[in-house]
C-alpha cells in the first residue's frame, strides 16, 4: 500500500501522487522544440520548496531519455553552493558532462573554456541539459553561467535552419530548476539571461487533493470524512508538501483505529499537533526567511488589519518572500493585486512564532487580589471585563513589555501586529489557568485576525482591528457581525486598538451594535496603546 510522502521526490510505486501530466507534457515540449535544426527553449523552473518541481522534472527527464535523437543530462548543483570560485564550478560542470556522456577528456580550466563542452565537434548528439538547484550557486556563478548560456543560445539562433553538422553548438535546450526564478531583480548587475521562459510550478487544485485522498480510501478501505479533506485543502491551499505531510499524520502517525473513519475530531487533534508541536522542514525554512532583516518588516506589515499591501514582483523584499514561499498574491480586481499569506497553516505558524518570540514572558496578568467574579466563573467568560484588565496590563507594563519589539523604519512606530501578538499571548496565559483555549483564525489570508476562545463548552469570538476612522469603525462592526453569523454565534467582541480615546468617545462608541441582517450583537471594546 502506498504512503503519503513529503520528504523529497515521489516514488510512483510507493507514494500517493498527482500525475500532473499536462504540466509534464508542456515542459517536455518546451525542451524538445519543433526540430533538431531549431533548438528547444531555455527555461527556468521555479517554485518554493516542497512543491514538487524536482519530481516533475524527473518525469520530464525519463520521457526525454526515450528520444534517441538527444543526449539528456540532469545535474544537481546544491553541493556547490559554498563554492565562490566560478572557474571551479565551470571545471566541475565540464568534467561531469564529459564523464556522464562518456566523451573524450576535455580540460576546462575556467568559465570561458566551458562553452567548448557544448560544441558540435565535441558532443555526439544535441544535448538537453537540466541543472537542479541552480539558484543555490553564488551570484557571480549564476551571472557568469547565465551569460555563457545566453551567448550559446544566440549563436544557435544565428545559425537556425542549418544542418546539425554545421552548427557551432549542440546545446539543444536548457532547464534551470530553483526556488527563485533565478535571474530576476536580486542580481544587481542585471540579468543577461533574458531569453528564458519562466515556468512556475503551481499548487495542487482541490480536485487533485481530493484524488489523492480518495486513492488512499480505495487502497486502505478506511474512509475519510469529506469535511477533513476540505479542511486540508483550505488550510494548505494545495501546497504539495503540506498536503502530503498532513496526509501522513492523519493516515499513519496518529491513525490508531484503521477500522474506523477518520473524522473531523481526529483531524482537529492532529492539526493542533502540526501547528504547535511537530517540526516540518518546509515551515522551519519559511520562518527562517520571514524573521530575517530586512524582510521581517514586510511580514509584520502584512498582519495589519486596515489596509492590504499591494503586490509587485519588482519590489525586492516582496520578490524574495514570494519566491521563498513566505507570501503569495491575490487578484482583487482586474487591475489590483495584493499580498497575502500562502495558506492559513503558514500564516498561523508565523503568527504563533512571532507571538511567542516577542512575548515569551508576559509578566503579571492580573492584580494579585483582583475580584474576577464579574469576569470569569465556572460557567461564563465576560470578554469586555477581561479586555479592561488587558488594557490596564498593557499600560502598566508597556515600558518593559514593548522595549525591544520591532518598529517601522520610517517613523519608529511599533508595528500594529505587535499588539495583536501581545493580546493573543495575554489571553492564552490567562485562560490556560482555567482550561480555556485560544485559537487564532485568519479568514482572508491578509491582516484580518480573529481569536476564537473555547471555555466551559462555549465558544467566544474576538475580531481585532486597529481604529482608523469612523467609516472604518462602522464597516468593522458590520464585518464582525457577518463573521459572528458564520460562526453561529449570537454575539461577538470587536477589539479596536487605538492610541488614545477620551471618556466621552469611549462611552459613545463602546455601545453594542445589533446587525439587522444577521441579528448578531457586536460588542466594541477600545484598547488604548499610547
Q: What is the structure's pLDDT at 254?
A: 96
User: How many C-beta atoms surround the C-beta of residue 333 within 10 A?
Assistant: 7
Query: How would you class 499 by CB atoms within 10 Å of its CB: exposed for 0-12, middle for 13-18, buried for 19 or more?
Result: exposed
Q: Which residues of 147-171 are buried (b: 16+ CB within 10 A; e: fewer)?
A: ebbbebbeebeeeeeeeeeebebbb
State pLDDT tens for residues 393-408. Answer: 999 999 999 999 999 8
Per the CB < 8 A criterion, the answer to whether 234 and 265 are in contact is no
Would you place residue 187 in the very low, low, confident or very high pLDDT band (cuts 50, 70, 90)? very low
Looking at residue 185, its pLDDT comes to: 36
Measuring CA to CA, how many Å separate 212 from each of 1, 238, 244?
Answer: 13, 11, 9
The larger pLDDT score, comparing residue 522 to residue 168, is at 522
Instruction: Determine the distance from the C-alpha atom of residue 122 to the mean position of all C-alpha atoms in its chain, rounded to a whole number.
Output: 44
CATH 3.10.290.10 fits 21-200, yes or no: no
304: pLDDT confidence band, cut at 50, 70 and 90? confident
Q: What is the pLDDT of residues 493-519, one digit of tens each?
A: 999 999 999 999 999 999 999 999 999
Of 526, 209, 284, 239, nearest in space to 390 by CA: 526
- Please say if the pLDDT value at position 190 is more than 80: no
User: How far apart, in whole angstroms, are the C-alpha atoms of residue 201 and residue 169?
Assistant: 30
**Stronger pLDDT, 183 or 525, i.e. the higher one:** 525
Report pLDDT digits (tens) over 58-95: 999 999 999 999 999 999 999 999 999 999 999 999 99
Q: Which residue has the higher pLDDT, 323 or 184?
A: 323
**Are 184 and 319 within 8 A, CB to CB?**
yes
Separation between Cα atoms, residue 526 and residue 506, nearest integer Å? 7
Residue-range domain boundaries for the chain: 21-200, 206-278, 359-528
pLDDT for 189 equals 43
Whole-angstrom distance, CA of residue 136 vs CA of residue 78: 6
Residue 454's DSSP bridge partners are 437, 459
Question: Which residues are CB-neighbours of 194 under 8 A, at least 6 positions away?
Answer: 150
For the ranges 6-20, 21-35, 155-169, 368-382, which has the lowest average pLDDT?
Answer: 155-169
Write down the pLDDT at residue 351: 94
Residue ranges of the alpha helices (H) in 293-337?
Answer: 296-302, 316-323
Residue 35 has pLDDT above 90, yes or no: no
Residue 340 grid cell: 497575502
Q: Which cell is 496 given?
A: 479596536
For 421-449, write each residue's pLDDT tens digit.
999 999 999 999 999 999 998 877 776 78
- Do you know the residue count of the chain? 530
What would the mean pLDDT of 122-142 be, rounded to a whole number? Answer: 91
The three cell numbers of residue 4 are 503519503
Which pLDDT score is estimated for 180? 58
- Write down the mean pLDDT value for the chain: 90
pTM comes to: 0.87
Return the percentage of the chain with pLDDT > 90, whole number. 72
CATH of 359-528 among 1.10.10, 3.30.1360, 3.40.91, 3.30.70? 3.40.91
Q: What percent of the chain has pLDDT over 70?
A: 94
What average pLDDT score do residues 200-220 get?
95
Count of other CB atoms within 10 angstroms of residue 116: 14
Q: Is it the case that residue 289 has pLDDT exceeding 50?
A: yes
The answer, yes or no, to whether the previous bond of 527 is cis (omega within 30 of 0) is no
Which candidate, 44, 40, 45, 50, places its Cα nearest to that of 72?
40
Distance CA 254, CA 266 (A): 8
Q: How confident is the model at residue 359 (pLDDT cuts 50, 70, 90)?
A: very high
Element (H, E) at 460: strand 458-466
Lowest pLDDT segment from 130-134, 186-190, 472-476: 186-190
Lowest mean pLDDT among 34-43, 146-155, 501-510: 34-43
Amino acid at each position: 500500500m502506498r504512503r503519503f510522502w513529503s520528504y523529497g521526490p515521489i516514488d510512483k510505486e510507493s507514494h500517493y501522487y498527482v500525475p500532473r501530466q499536462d504540466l509534464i507534457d508542456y515542459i517536455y515540449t518546451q525542451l524538445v522544440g519543433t526540430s533538431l535544426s531549431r533548438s528547444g527553449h531555455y527555461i527556468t523552473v521555479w517554485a518554493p520548496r516542497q512543491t514538487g518541481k524536482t519530481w516533475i522534472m524527473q518525469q520530464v527527464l525519463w520521457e526525454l531519455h526515450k528520444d534517441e535523437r538527444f543526449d539528456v543530462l540532469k545535474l544537481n548543483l546544491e553541493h556547490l553552493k559554498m563554492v565562490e570560485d566560478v572557474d571551479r564550478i565551470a571545471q566541475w560542470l565540464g568534467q561531469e558532462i564529459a564523464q556522464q556522456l562518456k566523451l573524450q577528456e576535455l580540460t576546462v580550466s575556467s568559465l570561458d573554456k566551458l562553452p567548448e563542452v557544448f560544441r558540435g565537434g565535441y558532443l555526439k548528439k544535441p544535448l538537453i541539459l537540466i541543472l537542479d538547484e541552480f539558484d543555490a550557486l553564488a551570484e557571480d556563478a549564476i551571472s557568469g553561467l547565465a551569460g555563457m548560456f545566453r551567448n550559446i543560445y544566440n549563436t544557435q539562433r544565428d545559425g537556425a535552419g542549418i544542418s546539425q553538422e554545421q552548427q557551432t553548438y549542440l546545446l539543444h535546450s536548457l532547464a534551470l530548476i530553483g526556488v527563485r526564478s533565478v535571474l530576476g531583480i536580486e542580481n544587481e548587475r542585471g540579468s543577461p539571461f533574458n531569453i528564458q521562459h519562466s515556468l512556475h510550478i503551481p499548487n495542487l487544485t482541490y480536485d487533485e487533493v481530493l484524488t489523492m485522498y480518495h486513492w488512499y480510501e480505495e487502497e486502505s478501505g478506511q474512509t475519510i470524512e469529506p469535511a477533513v479533506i476540505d479542511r486540508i485543502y483550505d488550510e494548505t491551499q494545495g501546497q504539495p508538501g503540506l498536503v502530503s505531510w498532513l496526509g501522513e499524520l492523519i493516515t499513519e502517525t496518529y491513525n490508531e483505529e484503521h477500522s474506523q473513519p477518520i473524522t473531523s475530531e481526529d483531524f482537529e487533534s492532529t492539526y493542533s499537533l502540526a501547528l504547535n508541536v511537530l517540526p516540518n522542514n518546509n515551515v522551519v525554512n519559511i520562518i527562517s526567511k520571514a524573521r530575517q532583516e530586512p524582510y521581517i518588516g514586510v511580514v509584520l506589515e502584512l498582519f495589519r488589519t486596515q489596509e492590504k499591501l499591494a503586490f509587485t514582483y519588482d519590489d525586492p523584499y516582496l520578490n524574495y518572500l514570494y519566491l521563498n514561499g513566505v507570501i503569495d498574491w491575490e487578484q482583487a480586481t482586474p487591475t489590483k493585486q495584493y499580498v497575502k499569506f500562502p495558506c492559513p497553516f503558514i500564516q498561523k505558524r508565523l503568527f504563533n512564532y512571532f507571538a511567542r518570540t516577542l512575548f515569551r514572558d508576559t509578566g503579571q496578568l492580573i492584580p494579585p487580589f483582583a475580584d474576577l467574579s464579574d469576569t470569569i466563573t465556572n460557567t461564563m467568560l465576560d470578554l469586555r471585563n477581561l479586555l479592561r484588565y488587558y488594557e490596564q496590563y498593557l499600560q502598566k507594563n508597556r515600558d518593559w513589555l514593548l522595549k525591544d519589539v520591532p518598529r517601522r523604519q520610517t517613523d519608529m512606530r511599533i508595528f500594529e501586529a505587535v499588539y495583536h501578538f501581545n493580546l493573543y499571548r495575554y489571553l492564552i496565559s490567562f485562560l490556560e489557568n482555567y482550561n480555556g483555549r485560544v485559537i487564532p483564525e485568519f479568514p482572508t489570508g491578509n491582516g484580518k485576525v480573529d481569536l476564537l476562545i473555547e471555555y466551559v463548552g462555549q465558544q467566544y469570538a474576538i475580531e481585532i482591528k486597529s481604529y482608523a476612522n469612523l467609516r472604518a469603525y462602522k464597516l468593522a462592526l458590520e464585518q464582525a457581525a457577518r463573521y459572528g453569523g458564520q460562526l453561529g454565534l449570537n454575539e461577538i467582541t470587536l477589539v479596536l486598538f487605538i492610541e488614545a480615546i477620551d471618556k466621552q468617545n469611549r462611552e459613545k462608541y463602546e455601545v453594542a451594535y445589533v446587525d439587522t441582517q444577521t441579528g448578531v450583537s457586536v460588542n466594541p471594546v477600545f484598547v488604548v496603546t499610547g
